[in-house]
Chains A and B, each alone.
Chain A
Amino acid sequence: MSENLNLGDDARLNAEELEIERALQSLAPAEARVNRDAMMFAAGKAAASRRGVRFWQAACLAIVVGCTGFVVYRPVRTVERDVIVHVPVAAPVQVVQALPEQMGPVLRAFGEGFLRMDEPRASAAETPQADYLSLRRAVLRDGLDALPAPKVVAGKAAVYVPAKKDDLFDALPRWQRQQLTAGGQL
C-alpha cells in the first residue's frame, strides 16, 4: 500500500477503525519457534532415505541382466550364400483366364487372323516348287494332277529348274553327299 494512500485512508478512517489500528500497532512480533538448522537437518535426513536408491539400483540391475542375457544368448551368425530354391509359382490363372474375354478388339483380331492361316490358297500346281504340305493337301484333294509339271517354255523343250544349291545337294545319293562333304568340296 502506498504512502499517499495511507494518508488518504487515515482521513477516511472512522473511530473504530482507528482504534483497531492502534491496537494492532501495539502488537509486538513473537520470536520464531522453528529452528532453521534443525529444519535443514531434517530435510537432509529425509532426502537421505534408501528407498529411492533401491529403486535406481533395481532399474540398473534389470538393465545389466538384460544386456548380459543378450550377450550370452546372441543369435547364431548367418553366412550368406546363393541357394537356388524352386518355388512353385501359381499360374496367373485369373489374369489369363480373363484375357480372351477382355482382350481388346485389336488383340483379338490378331489372334483370329492367325487362326485363319489355314484358309486354302492357290493350287500347288501353280507353284512348281510347292512345299510338301501344300502339295499333299492339293494331291489329296484333287488327285495327282495337282502335282507340279516340269517347267515348260512355250514351244520349247521342258526345262527342269533346280531350286538351290542345298536342294541339289540333298537330291544326291547319300554316299555322294558323304564323299563331297568328306572331300571338303562343300
Chain B
Amino acid sequence: MKMNDSTRPLRSGAQIVRQLTLSAQEFIRSHIPGAPDRKGPVLAVVVAVALAAVHSGWAQTSPGAKKSDDYRTATVKIWPQRIENPVLQYALIPRFSETRKGNAAVTYNGAVAAINKPLSPDDFDQMDKLRALPLAELDDAKVEDLLRDRRTALQVLRDAALMEHADWETSIRERGYRILLTNMSGLRNLANLLTLDIRLDIKNARWKDAAAKLQSGYTMARHLGESDTLIESLVGIAIASAMNKCVEDWVSVPGSPNLYWPIRSLPCPFNDLRHPLGVEMDMPFLVFDQLKEWKKGDYSPDGVSRFVAQMNGMVDMGMLPSPSVPSKLRQPAATAWAIMEYPRAKEFLAARGMSQHEIDNMPVPEALGRYFVRSYEEERDELFKWMYLPFPSSMKAFVQAEKEFQNRAQANSISLLTRILLPSLSHARVTAVRLDVQFAAMSLIENLRAYAAEKQVLPDSLDQLPLYVPVNPMTGKAFVYQRDGDVATLIAPYYKEEQKKDGHKYVIRLQRADVIEGPVK
C-alpha cells in the first residue's frame, strides 16, 4: 500500500534516459579505456535506450515478474490486544475540552513558516527512506537529525490542530480560478515530518504522544477538507492516508493499545467533498461576470463580445490554455467561434421545447447566452448528481456518465465553456472512498486483534468477531476474508470487481511471543 505522497514530481522518461545516458557514458569511460570519444556518446545512448526498454518492458513480460493485475497489497503484522477502558482514551481527533476557538488556517501557515531549516533534496530523500523503512529498522538518530530544527513547526502544527475550525480565506468568491494554493506543499512537508515523529513515538511505545500527533495529522486533514477547493480537500485526504500508515505501524508493536473505538469514532466519510464540489459547480459563475448576467436573464446585445473578452482575459492571465491562433488574432477567432456556436445554440433551444418562431426572432446574443448557461448547467448537474448517492450504488453510473461526457466533448458536441471548465471527478471520488476503505479495514484489523487477544488465534470468518464489522465502502459488500493459520487475508475489491489491481489486500500476520516470525510472503 505504498503511497507516493512525496511533494517532488516524478521523474519524466526523458530525465530517466538522460540519467541512464550519463551513467552509461561513465561506465564506458571507466571500463573501455580505448573507446574513441566520438563513439562514446552514441554507444552510451544505445545502452541507455536498451536499459530503459528493459526497465519499462521486460519487467512486465518476464514470467517471474509480479503480475500487474494483483491487488494493492500491504502486509500488516499484528499483535493481539484487547480493548481497554476507557475505550476512547487514544482518540484520534481532539476532544472538545482540548480545542479552543480560533482560525486554524492562520496557525497552519505559521507552522509552515516555522520550518526554520528548509528541506533540501537530500532531506526529501532521507525522509522518503525513513518513512518506508520497517519500524524495527527505523534509526532514531537519523529521524531526530531530520526533525531537530523543525520541532517548533510541529509544535505550532499541534496548536493549529486544536483550533475549532479552519477558514483558509482563499477569496474564491472574489478571485475564482485566480486563487493561489501556495501553502499546499508546505503543509504536505509538515505532514511528512509529522509521520516520522509519530513513527519514532510508536517505535518507542510512547502511545500518548503518538496519539496526540495522530490527532494533529487527522485534524489537519479534516481542516483541509473544510476548504473551498477540491485540491485542498484531496491534499487533506492524502495526509489522512499518511496517518493511516502510522496506524499500521501502531498495530505491529507488541502492547500497542487497541484503536478499534477511536477509529470507529472518526467521521465517515472522512472528507465527503460536498463543500468543495459545491464550489466547483459554481466556479464559472464566479469567474465570468457575463455568465452571471445571462443567468439573471440580462441578454444585452454586447453580451457575447463581453464574454469573449472575458475568456481572452483569462487566456492572457494564463488561466485558460492559449488557443492555437496568434494572440493578435484571438479576438476575431473568438468571435468566429461564437458565430460557429450559434446554429448549435438554436438546435439546443429547439430541443428544449422553444418554438421555431421564438428562436428565429431571438437576438443572437440571447440565444448564445441561454445556450452557454443552460448547457453548462445541464452537463454539470448530470455529472455532479451522482456524487450525492452512496458510492457503491452510483459509481458505475457516474463513470458511465463521465465517459459519455468525454465522448461528446471529443465529438465537439458540447460547448467549449463546458468542456474546459467541468472537472473530471471520478478520480477524486475514488480517492476519497479509498480513505474510507482504509479506515474500515483498520477497524477490522483492530477487531481481529481484540479477538486474537481473547482466543489466541485468528477467526475463521468475520462473523466470529465480537464487534461491529464494517462493509467495504467501495462495494457495499463484506470484505473478503480468508484465514490460513496465523495468516489472514482481508480483501477490499475495487468497485469494478474485475479490476483487481485497484482493489486493496491486507496480508495480516498474527504475531505471538512464542512464534518466531518467518519471511513475509
Which residues of A pack against B, CB within 8 Å?
A: 88-93, 96-97, 99-100, 103, 107-119, 121, 123, 125-126, 129, 131-137, 139-141, 143-150, 152, 154-160, 162-163, 167, 170-171, 173-174
Contact = CB atoms under 8 A, between A and B. Distances in A.
A117 B322 contact: yes
Nearest to A92: B364
Contact of A116 (B119, B184, B324): B324
Given A125-B9, A144-B238, A131 B318 contact: yes
B106 A173 contact: yes
23 contacts: A93-B361, A99-B339, A103-B336, A103-B339, A107-B336, A114-B334, A114-B336, A117-B315, A117-B323, A117-B416, A131-B319, A132-B177, A132-B231, A133-B320, A137-B424, A140-B230, A140-B423, A141-B427, A147-B235, A150-B118, A152-B8, A152-B121, A160-B182
Interface residues of B, number: 76
A147 B416 contact: no
A71 B363 CA distance: 49
B420 interface: yes
B105 A173 contact: yes
A18 to B, nearest CB: 109
A156 B120 contact: yes
A100 B342 contact: yes
Interface stretch (B78-86, B325-333, B462-470, B476-484): B325-333
B333 A132 contact: no
Nearest to A88: B361
A144 B234 contact: yes
B330 A114 contact: yes
B234 A96 contact: no
A140 B362 CA distance: 39
A119 B324 contact: yes
Given A115-B416, A136-B423, A171 B320 contact: no
B184 A147 contact: yes
Given A125-B9, A139-B231, A157 B339 contact: no
Interface of B: 4-10, 103, 105-106, 109, 117-121, 169, 171, 175, 177-186, 188-189, 229-231, 234-235, 238, 315, 317-325, 329-330, 332-334, 336-337, 339-340, 342-343, 346, 360-364, 367, 412, 416, 419-421, 423-425, 427-428, 431
Given A147-B7, A154-B121, A96 B364 contact: yes
Given A134-B321, A154-B121, 9 more contacts: A100-B342, A114-B330, A118-B420, A133-B320, A144-B234, A145-B5, A147-B7, A155-B121, A163-B182
Contact of B325 (A113, A121, A136, A160): A113
A158 B229 contact: no
A105 B390 CA distance: 50
Contacts of A147: 7, 184-185, 188, 231, 235
Contacts of B342: 96-97, 99-100
A144 B235 contact: yes
A139 B325 contact: no
A47 B107 CA distance: 127
B106 A110 contact: no
Contacts of B421: 133
Contacts of B182: 160, 162-163, 167, 171
A111 B118 contact: no
